[in-house]
Structure 1
Amino acid sequence: MSSAVFDIAVKTIGGEDKQLSEYAGKVLLIVNVASYCGYTPQYAGLEKLNQKYQDAGLRILAFPCNDYGAQEPGSNAEIQQFCTRKYGVSFEMFDKVHAKGLQQHPLYATLTKAAASKGEVSWNFEKFLISKQGEIVAHFKSSVSPDSPELIAAIERELAK
């Protein structure tokens, strides 16, 4: 089954091209991240989600973004090193993108226009839950932590389908 999300091409943090269609059949949690944000400690919670649900089919896709408070100024190599050393991040990291504005990445243009979305991304660490079929299921604002019952319940519902 094709969906707008699965039609999008992205680059990994290492510069490799990747089609999101490669994730068909997996539940995705797409997060715009930053290294110098009050929400940066959410990396630890995201890694816990990754460890707990990866074998069940969850994939966390992190997209560094410097749009909010210029809190992600580093290069891709610096970002990856920070995430690995400080938080032990093992989930997938991607090339720095714009989540808003004239240079908004096609992924974020698609995510923010979906019916399940709460509109534009307003800060770092907003989370979009994507079904195994590539449908946008939910949009969680930054204040919803990775260990929040609301987010965990939504992930578990999608994994069970």
Structure 2
Amino acid sequence: MTRFHDFRLPALEGGEIDFSQWRGRPVLIVNTASECGFTKQYEGLQKLWREMGHSTPDGLIILGVPSNDFGKQEPGNAQQISQFCQRRYGVSFPLAARSVVRGTEAIPLFKWLAKEGGFLSLPRWNFYKYLIDRQGRLHRWFTPLTDPQSPRLLEEIRRVSQKHA
């Protein structure tokens, strides 16, 4: 049985992202795209990363997973995606290589998320958000309509960020 901390993904800028390094930390996974109406959510995600993530050794991890699955809104190569995210939104949280996130060709991570979250959790557009608790369980998922700075999402992040969670 595959568990969250067993996954590895190619990183956008080369190398590999090994999820085992995130044991004991909450993780927010977001399927992203550079040419989407929700792309401005990168701002809120970066703010979360600055305020709740990288500044503490057990803080929130944010993982962006660029995908071209919806409306062909992530057509760029790795360098173009990286430059766009950094220049336009100052993104410094981890980004995986562009990946398929839906259907039979979906990467194993998104197949696992679908299994854990059920049919309704399948991403039907860019910027679905999946909140993983400190134990590596899917805690809750959110549609693109939930902004990264929404009180609802922030409350759930606080809930899974508590040490006893």
CA distance in 1, matches of 2:118, 2:133: 12
1:95-131, Cα deviation, whole Å (9 max, x unpaired): 0111112210000000111147733110000000001
Question: Is 1:97 aligned to 2:99, yes or no?
Answer: yes
CA distance in 1, matches of 2:122, 2:66: 16
Alignment of 1:1-161 (within 5 A): 4-54=3-53, 55-56=55-56, 57-115=59-117, 118-160=120-162, 161=165
Structure 1 runs (4+) deviating above 4 angstroms are none
CA distance in 2, matches of 1:113, 1:83: 30
- After TM superposition, the score normalised by the length of structure 2 is 0.92
What amino acid does structure 2 have at the position aligned with 1:63?
V
- After TM superposition, the score normalised by the length of structure 1 is 0.94
What amino acid does structure 2 have at the position aligned with 1:82?
F
CA distance in 1, matches of 2:14, 2:144: 27
Report the aligned-residue RMSD: 1.5
Q: Which runs of 5+ in 1 are unaligned?
A: none
Which range moves more in the overlay, 47-56 or 122-131?
47-56
CA distance in 1, matches of 2:117, 2:144: 19
Identity of matched residues, %: 38
Q: Check 1:66–1:98 CA distance in 2 against 1; reply closer, same or farther (3 A cut).
A: same
User: Size of the alignment, in residue pairs?
Assistant: 160
Q: Which runs of 5+ in 2 are unaligned?
A: none
Distance apart, 1:5 and its partner CA: 1.2
CA distance in 2, matches of 1:84, 1:19: 22
Distance apart, 1:132 and its partner CA: 1.1
Distance apart, 1:133 and its partner CA: 1.1
Q: Check 1:129–1:117 CA distance in 2 against 1; reply closer, same or farther (3 A cut).
A: farther
Q: Check 1:148–1:116 CA distance in 2 against 1; reply closer, same or farther (3 A cut).
A: farther
Q: Tell me if the contact between 2:17 and 2:96 (Cα under 8 Å) persists in the aligned partners.
A: no
